[in-house]
C-alpha cells in the first residue's frame, strides 16, 4: 500500500540562501498519526508550510496517494486531498461559525453540497452546532481550534497537517484536540502533526520523527520515542538515570 503522503529529499525555506529544511524523507499512511518534534527553530513549521507550497523556496518530491504533487499550488493541493491547519489562528472573527465553515468549501461550486458538508462536520464537533450563529471571535481558544479543524474537513481531505494544534489551549481542550486527531485517523485520514506538547503528542501518535536543524535525526514508533533517553531528556525536560542530560 502506498503512503497517503510521502516526501523525499525535501527542502524548504525562504530563498536558496535561507534553506531551513534540508533533505527530509517522511511518510504518513492512511489511518495513522505521525508527529514531528524538535526544538524551536528546528524547521518543523517550515516543513509543513513547504509541503503545502507556502514557502518561496522548496525542492524535492511530494507524493499524494502515490501520485506526484510536487508542482501543485496550495489550492490544487487542497483539491487533491491535502489540508493544512496553521499554527496561527486563521478564522474570520467577524463571521459566524456557520459562515466560517462554509468558507472551507470555497473551491466547491455546488453550494448545496457545501451545506451538506457543513452539517456533517458538526456531527464531529457538537459545540459548533450549538454555537453556529455565534461570531468566531466569541469562541474560546479551544473552540476556535475545533472550528479551524472542522472547516478544513469541508473539503474531505485524505491528509491533514496540524501545526501546533494545542498551543495556548487549556488542558481540557488540549485533550479534546488530540482526541479529535485520533478520531480523524480512525476515520481513515492520514494526520501529520507538529507539536511542542511532546508527551501528549507521542501518547496520541503512531510514529514520530525528531527534526534537528532541518534534518530528520530519529524516526521510530511513538511508544519507542517516549522511552528513548535522548527524547526524554531533550523534549520532555527529564534527566537520565545518572542525573545528566544524555547527548542527542
Q: In this predicted structure, what is the pLDDT of residue 218?
A: 94
| 220, 47 contact by CB (below 8 A) | no
Query: Grid coordinates in use for 244?
Result: 545528566
pTM exceeds 0.85, yes or no? yes
The ranges assigned to domains in the chain are 1-81+157-248, 91-155
**Main-chain phi, psi angles of 232, to 5 degrees:** -55, -45
Residue reference for cell 500500500: 1
How confident is the prediction along the chain (248 residues), in pLDDT tens digits per residue?
689 999 999 999 997 778 999 999 999 999 999 999 999 899 999 999 999 999 999 999 999 999 999 999 999 999 999 999 998 888 999 999 999 999 999 999 899 999 999 988 878 888 898 999 999 999 999 999 999 999 999 999 999 999 999 998 999 899 999 999 999 999 999 999 999 999 999 999 999 999 999 999 999 999 999 999 888 877 775 544 433 333 33
Residue reference for cell 511518510: 27
Buried b / exposed e across 133-143, counting CB within 10 Å, b at 16+? eebbeebeebb
- Integer Cα distance of 79 and 146 in angstroms: 21
Fold of 1-81+157-248: Rossmann fold (3.40.50)
Angle at 195 between CA 10 and CA 152, to 5 degrees: 80
Among 47, 48, 9, which residue's Cα sits nearest to residue 160? 48
Amino acid at each position: 500500500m502506498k503512503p497517503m503522503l510521502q516526501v523525499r529529499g525535501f527542502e524548504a525555506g525562504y530563498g536558496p540562501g535561507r534553506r531551513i529544511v534540508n533533505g527530509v524523507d517522511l511518510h504518513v499512511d492512511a489511518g495513522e498519526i505521525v508527529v514531528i518534534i524538535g526544538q524551536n527553530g528546528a524547521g518543523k513549521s517550515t516543513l509543513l508550510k513547504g509541503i503545502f507550497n507556502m514557502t518561496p523556496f522548496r525542492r524535492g518530491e511530494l507524493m499524494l496517494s502515490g501520485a506526484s504533487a510536487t508542482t501543485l499550488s496550495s489550492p490544487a493541493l487542497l483539491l487533491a486531498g491535502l489540508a493544512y491547519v496553521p499554527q496561527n489562528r486563521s478564522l474570520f472573527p467577524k463571521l459566524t461559525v456557520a459562515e466560517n465553515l462554509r468558507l472551507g468549501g470555497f473551491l466547491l461550486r455546488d453550494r448545496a453540497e457545501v451545506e451538506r458538508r457543513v452539517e456533517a462536520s458538526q456531527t464531529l464537533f457538537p459545540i459548533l452546532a450549538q454555537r453556529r450563529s455565534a461570531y468566531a471571535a466569541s469562541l474560546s481558544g479551544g473552540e476556535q481550534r475545533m472550528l479551524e479543524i472542522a472547516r478544513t474537513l469541508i473539503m474531505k481531505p485524505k491528509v491533514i497537517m496540524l501545526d501546533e494544534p494545542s498551543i495556548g489551549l487549556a488542558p481540557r481542550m488540549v485533550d479534546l484536540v488530540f482526541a479529535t486527531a485520533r478520531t480523524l485517523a480512525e476515520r481513515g485520514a492520514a494526520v501529520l502533526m507538529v507539536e511542542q506538547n511532546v508527551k501528549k503528542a507521542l501518547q496520541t501518535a503512531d510514529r514520530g520523527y525528531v527534526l534537528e536543524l532541518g534534518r530528520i535525526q530519529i524516526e521510530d514508533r511513538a511508544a519507542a520515542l517516549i522511552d528513548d533517553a535522548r527524547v526524554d531528556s531533550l523534549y520532555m525536560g527529564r534527566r537520565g538515570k545518572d542525573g545528566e542530560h544524555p547527548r542527542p
